Chain A
Amino acid sequence: MKNFPHMARSGTFVFVGLVWLMTSQGLAAQTTAGVSEKDFLEEMPIILSVSRLPQRLDETPGAVTILDRDFIRSSGARDVADLLRLVPGFQSSTSFEADAPQASYHGVYGYYSARIQVLVDGRSVYSNFFAGSVAPGLMTVMLDDIERIEVLRGSNSVAYGARAMFGVVNIVTRHSSDTLGTRAALTRGENGIQDTQLGLGWRTENSSMRLSVDERGDDGLTGSNGHNRVQRVNFRSDWQVSGNSNVLLSAGWMDIASGKGYANRPGDGLRDTTFENKFVQVDWKEVLSPDQDLVLSFSHNHENYRDVAPYLPIPGLNLDGSGTTSNNTLTAQHTLRLSPVVRMVWGAELRRESVTSRPLFNTAEAIVDDFTRLFTHAEWRLRPDLLLNGGVMAEHSSVSGSSLAPRLMLNWHVTPEQTLRAGISRSFRPPSAFERRSDVRYLFNKRLLGVTFLARGNVAPEALLTRELGYLGTFPWLKSTLDVRLFDESFTGYIDGVPYLVQLDGKSYAPYDYFNVDNFSIRGLELQWKGQPWPGAQLGFNQTFSRMAFQRPPSETKLPAAMPESTSTLFLTQQLPSGLQFSLSHQYSEPLWVQRSGDFRQYIHRTDWRLSKSLRFGHRRGELAVTVQNQGQPYADFDKSFLFERRAFVTLRIDN
């Protein structure tokens, strides 16, 4: 400032201007340095707008099970599919034989689990390859990156499109600002278990980022060719662009290398397969006002599956099931509060799915399906104790035509602690590219040896009409909650493969084609009870009863056992002194037919336990845990010759 008169005398206005700029900036800095009335009187960017707020559990249009971080960790599970067996109505496997460990809701139909939707941070992750299987998608993220898993039990096509036929598994990963610093975990144990995880998180002024690298490995089920290794790299960045807008960027790579096949089956011989997945997702969220926001989202996904096995009876002939897929999805979603009692969301999605596989489709060309989806969903509070949820999704597929999936659900808070739900919905699943277009031929020296699948496209979408009654109550007694779902699901046009006779080059073959072969209904009840019976304890009990009913004899005798008639799970966690925690879970499942074993029915009695001790390394926290999965007798999983034997392992974890 002393220079000021000197400079002014020199007559150099530029300098004067500069000094003025500098001093005025100095003043501005000074006024922001301390508190003033501005801190009390000025506006703030809106953070929590209408769509960012979760619905209360007793106001969701359907039954929801939430698996949070604590539950995930104390369960001892190593992947999402294994966790979902603790959700009422779910069936799951640990086998990598089909593609990756599968989980399905209300029944195991066919070889792949394709009738639920799986979302990771809103991105649909079903595979275009394995008839729409969600199993590889369930593997996309390492468990420690998951904030919570919301399982919507019941059809939800209205909100999440055709794949959400029976339900939705919504995996929400942790915000990158919650995973700053370094995390690491090492697991070693029986069955060749070797899991290694490393997470790095850092932040800049307006953004935070996370990079997670992990490997999950084991020797698979006893009796199978399983030696499975999953390697993943996941990146997530949350960038606060301005007060009201932020950008989520995530990208990842995954490779599932697994051993498949049987020594004694020439057509399904021992081999190693790899499934590679790459994705990128960008979400741009703009908060327009406290009552409105807009999300634009783009994702790209690429899959590469390699599965080649020599056909031993004919040296030189390979059985190939390889292929690549890609999909691009663009979504715009506008959420708004129309009045204090009505909020709604509407939007549109364009999605292109493309799959290329000469072995499966007998063409080098990509098979493309373009989806256009329009959706709207409104929540209308008719009275303080009455909430009506209504919505509709219109979907057009360039291959399977149009469908309309509506849903209506009424939630009545009989008392603030007791809620009754009643609702009806209709949902669809269009046939996958394989079900429409498969053309699997085996040629040797340009001679056609066999045709196993030859689809003619005579297949319509499957439809599910769901009627349900629900109850959700909280009781001060044992600090518990009870959720009951009574359902009647009417399934029409179930798609399955049926062999038929065809003449090709003058010879007869009996390939499979896909048809809408069965109509049936599933009726039953699901019950989920959670409580805190004594200090430091969490106790949970799930029970499902169900019955499948067919008007005509089913085309496949195993189909009526696609869903076990009764399953129960019990879960207990107890905090103990000196940072110890003990958890115990037991699963009981009545017969369920397993994939490739004739009339063999699988019973599951599985008990897992885990004992952990929290540790401190300077300012860091960590944990040492011993987990035993299936403490009792081995049970058959996926195939009667594949046994899940006891697996004990130790995990050492250092948290950020």
Chain B
Amino acid sequence: MTQRLRGFLLGLALCLPALPGAAQLLEVKVGIVPSQASAPYVEATQALVSRLASQGVPRDELEIWSPAELAALPVARLSGVKVWVALGTEAATALAQVQPKVPVLNALLPRSSFERVLRASGRRASARFNLLQLDQPVPRQLALIRLALPKARRLGVLWGPDSLPKAPVLRSLASSQGLALQEARLDEGTSLFAALQSVLDSSDVLLAFADPLVFNSSSIQNILMTTIRAQVPLVAFSPAYVRAGALLAVYSTPTQVGTQSARWVLGVLANQALPEQPLEPDDFEIGVNAQVASALGLSLDAKVLHQALKRQEQQP
């Protein structure tokens, strides 16, 4: 962790070869706003910066500000910036308030957080203020389940208020792929356990969508223990869940998010517009908990699954 922070500081030093006073004289073209100085934001920032550098963007044309610094910056400092990258919800909120006149790419945050930022600032997703979403597209998640668990026919899902918007997409995809959905809707006050039990009773696999009302650090113990007792594998959305005991997860790493953001930043610098609709992550990783797999009598290889899924997505 400290090493990563040191890496971040090093990255900052690389980006700012001159003193702040001197930097004022240079024209900053890309403004990067990580929400925090913790590991994932640092990794995304580093990947973004190094990708831009490797594509010929001079280091002194990039500058990194924290959300607090951004709010305090004089407007004159912002004028030269041609594109902004917000990493995380806090940064997106800060940039939505600043309302720059140039395109803003928000990354490293999920779709529903982005929509909350839009609602709070009265904006709409557009080429001027768009998202590279952190959450994986539903078709990719379903394709992974079909690859890893070809025998699974009944898919269990626990919806919370934040994940529910994904329900229509999942329902139509599941029915077209012959998967039966076992759904339960949770609200404040409903018993997670009863819902989980009823879903697990008639599911071959449980697909988790990020929603803090359903999946959080205090509920995850019970959820994982219950799924394992029921011999129903959990397919999750982050590597931490795989380490904790989920069978599988598909996710994009902060480095992948940084690298993909860089491609869009380069496009804007080459006078291309951002798309009007939120972007989905191109690159992803697959995590497999080998111990859970072997306990379930499965033999899964993350690399093989990754290659197969990539190949499927590249097919027309």
Contact = CB atoms under 8 A, between A and B. Distances in A.
Given A177-B226, A240-B221, A240-B222, A36 B109 contact: yes
Given A39-B215, A48-B289, A53 B243 contact: no
The secondary-structure label for the interface of chain A is loop
B110 A40 contact: yes
Given A240-B221, A240-B222, A37 B110 contact: yes
A178 interface: yes
A53 B110 contact: no
A39 B245 contact: no
B229 A34 contact: no
Nearest to B107: A37
Given A48-B245, A206-B218, A240-B222, A39 B294 contact: no
A21 interface: no
Contacts of B292: 48, 53
Contacts of A35: 110, 112-113, 162-163, 210-212
B162 A48 contact: no
Contacts of A50: 291
B33 to A, nearest CB: 14
Interface string B290-316: 011011010100000000000000000
A47 B245 contact: yes
Contact of B243 (A46, A177, A206): A46
Nearest to A203: B193
Interface string A195-207: 0000000010110
Nearest to A33: B212
Interface string B103-130: 0000011101100100000000000000
A175 B240 contact: no
Listed residue (A37, A48, A175, A205) with the most chain B CB atoms within 10 angstroms of its CB: A37
Contacts of B113: 34-37
Interface residues of A, number: 33
A36 B89 contact: yes
A503 interface: no
Contacts of B237: 39-40
A180 B243 contact: no
Interface in B184-234: 193-194, 197, 210-212, 215-218, 220-222, 224-226, 228-229
A1 B228 CA distance: 47
Given A40-B135, A243-B221, A290 B243 contact: yes
Nearest to B292: A48
Contacts of B211: 35, 39
Interface string A375-410: 000000000000000000000000000000000000
A41 B224 contact: no
Nearest to A243: B217
Contacts of A180: 193-194
B241 interface: yes
A45 B217 contact: yes
Contact of B212 (A32, A177, A178): A32
B202 to A, nearest CB: 13
A44 interface: yes
Contacts of A147: 229
B301 to A, nearest CB: 12
Given A39-B210, A56-B294, A178-B229, A44 B220 contact: yes
B22 to A, nearest CB: 34
Contacts of B110: 35-37, 39-40
Given A56-B294, A177-B193, A44 B217 contact: yes
A177 B194 CA distance: 10
B40 A43 contact: no
Given A35-B163, A35-B210, A36-B110, A41 B238 contact: yes
Contacts of B215: 39
Contacts of B224: 47-48
A47 B88 contact: no
A206 B220 CA distance: 12
A47 B163 contact: no
Interface of B: 35, 40, 88-89, 108-110, 112-113, 116, 134-135, 162-163, 193-194, 197, 210-212, 215-218, 220-222, 224-226, 228-229, 237-238, 240-241, 243-245, 251, 254, 289, 291-292, 294-295, 297, 299
Interface of A: 32-37, 39-48, 50, 53-54, 56, 147, 175, 177-178, 180, 203, 205-206, 240, 243, 246, 290, 416
User: Which 4 A-B residue pairs are closest in the complex by CB-CB distance?
Assistant: A48-B245, A47-B245, A44-B244, A35-B162
20 contacts: A32-B212, A34-B116, A34-B212, A35-B112, A35-B163, A35-B212, A36-B88, A36-B110, A37-B35, A40-B134, A41-B108, A44-B240, A44-B241, A47-B225, A47-B244, A48-B292, A147-B229, A178-B229, A206-B218, A240-B221
